[in-house]
Structure 1
Amino acid sequence: MTDAHSGVPLRVVSYNVHGQRDDVAALATVVRQLAPDVLIVQEGPRRFGWRAKSATLAASFGLVVAAGGLPALGNLLLVSLRVRVTGVRHQRFPLTPGRHLRGAAYADCVVGGPARFTVAGSHLATDPVERPDQAKLFKRELDVAPLPVIAAADLNEEPGGPAWHTVAHGLTDAAVAADRADRLTYSCADPRRRIDGVFVDPRITVVDYDVLDTPLSRRASDHFPIVVDLLLPVAD
């Protein structure tokens, strides 16, 4: 549906899939039931055979790969056939010796004909010393994106932390906009923290937001998926 007054609807899911180390059948079912237009994945394939593995993962969800994988160090952007991708880019954060290499993926997209947006995904470090600098590098790319931004990340810290504050600055925290910031995202075994976030350009309307906590999602990963329904502004 496209309506110049209401905007173009888009369903976005952000999901740390835990390297597919849990119940992959449950994972595929969860995503298919959510039916996202855009799926932002953390801990996707990033090593040997990553292209084929990423394509297989996307196919299990009924989606296609837009960007990410090894070039973005496991961050994947997947889209439905409703979304057309017009450009992609990848980012790697400087490596701290002895730590995991981290990065981000970005894709410029068109949906519904007139609605354009940039989608981005990242997974920040568990180390509180290196995480703020990674957030700054991620945010720098978000700030120069040519289109309204939809960004999601496993930030590995809760709201109020320095990295979270950096990424969220100037953007709308979708959970807060929907008055659902009490929905916890980690861990499925013992939910105590909201460390995964979705942030959107203020021109984008947050229609609904939820964190899917079901028996199936508890089997699928160690993080719960975030599902956000948006209305995108129509391009002039």
Structure 2
Amino acid sequence: MELTFASYNIHKAVGLDGRRDPDRIITVLRELDADIIALQEADRRFGQRAAVLPRAMLDDTHWRPLAVSERPRSLGWHGNALLVRRDIHCTLSEALHLPTLEPRGAVMGELELEGRPLRILGAHLDISGIRRRDQVHAMLGHCAARPRLPTVIMGDFNQWGRLTGAMRAFGVAWQQITPGASYPARRPIAPLDRIVTTPDWDYVASGVHHSAMAAQASDHLPVWARLTLPKK
């Protein structure tokens, strides 16, 4: 079973020209054509935390958002949302509370495809770095408290070094995929966006999605990884 995973900080759909344009984000998602997508900054920060991608627009795509929101007008939890291809069955979806000095959280979904269960998490970690490692430990703790499943964690880790800082919390038991520099979108120099997996998955390919639209739609470029889950 081969799947393409992607992570995209959509910057509340505000592009480099200062305009909020959800159509551009949808266009980039269509370019990616991933099976499972973790979004960051998918909701407005204040007020009712309304989604910046109208659900009607998502209805015209082959993805559906998992039910992780705790607010009626939000798409995600602290801006984190998960989109999955419509033929992928979801057995559990929930928001995760992370230790934080800032408004941060993560989201988790347990899925089933072709009779195979898997787990996905999306996160946007602390920008200051003070609680980043604690947040990784919290996500790993949530996974450990559930039945063991092939797992993929995606998001904006706000971490420059591949094996430094909070990334050390994954230890040797997790595979860390750093597709490349994804921030800032116009001239990316920082590999802030990552994909981390349990060893159940075989790595096929990964990359940063560069396109004319992606370079304008957000301050981050999306990253992706193609993985296979071997037969038991």
TM-score relative to the length of structure 1: 0.83
Q: How does 1:30-179 map to 2 (within 5 A)?
A: 30-45=28-43, 48=48, 50=50, 53=53, 55-56=55-56, 58-59=58-59, 61-70=61-70, 72-96=77-101, 100-111=102-113, 113-146=114-147, 147-158=149-160, 159-167=162-170, 169-175=172-178
Structure 1 match to 2:18 = none
Unmatched tracts of structure 1, length 5 or more: 1-7, 176-180
> Taking structure 1 as reference, are residues 139 and 161 closer, same or farther at Cα in structure 2, changes over 3 Å only?
same
The one-letter amino acid of 2:156's match is: D
Helix, strand or coil at the partner of 1:170: coil
The one-letter amino acid of 2:163's match is: G
2:138, 2:194 → 1: CA distance? 17
Shift of 1:61: 4.5
Helix, strand or coil at the partner of 2:213: helix
Helix, strand or coil at the partner of 2:66: strand
Aligned residues: 218
Structure 1 match to 2:4 = 11
Structure 1 match to 2:13 = 20
Structure 1 match to 2:185 = 188
1:169, 1:59 → 2: CA distance? 40
1:104, 1:166 → 2: CA distance? 16
Shift of 1:116: 1.4
Helix, strand or coil at the partner of 1:78: strand
Bigger helix share: 1
2:172, 2:94 → 1: CA distance? 22
How high is the sequence identity, in percent, across the aligned residues? 23
Deviation per CA, 1:119-139, whole angstroms, max 9, x where unpaired? 001000111222222222122
Structure 2 match to 1:212 = 209
| 8 Å CA contact 1:122, 1:153 repeated in 2 | yes
Helix, strand or coil at the partner of 1:189: coil
Shift of 1:168: 5.9
Deviation per CA, 1:146-191, whole angstroms, max 9, x where unpaired? 211011021111223321221465211234xxxxx5x211111231
1:127, 1:184 → 2: CA distance? 19
Deviation per CA, 1:68-119, whole angstroms, max 9, x where unpaired? 34562111011111211011121122442xxx310000000011x2221000
2:185, 2:52 → 1: CA distance? 28
1:50, 1:107 → 2: CA distance? 21
The one-letter amino acid of 1:210's match is: G
> Taking structure 1 as reference, are residues 53 and 186 closer, same or farther at Cα in structure 2, changes over 3 Å only?
closer
Unmatched tracts of structure 2, length 5 or more: 16-20, 71-75
| 8 Å CA contact 1:68, 1:74 repeated in 2 | no
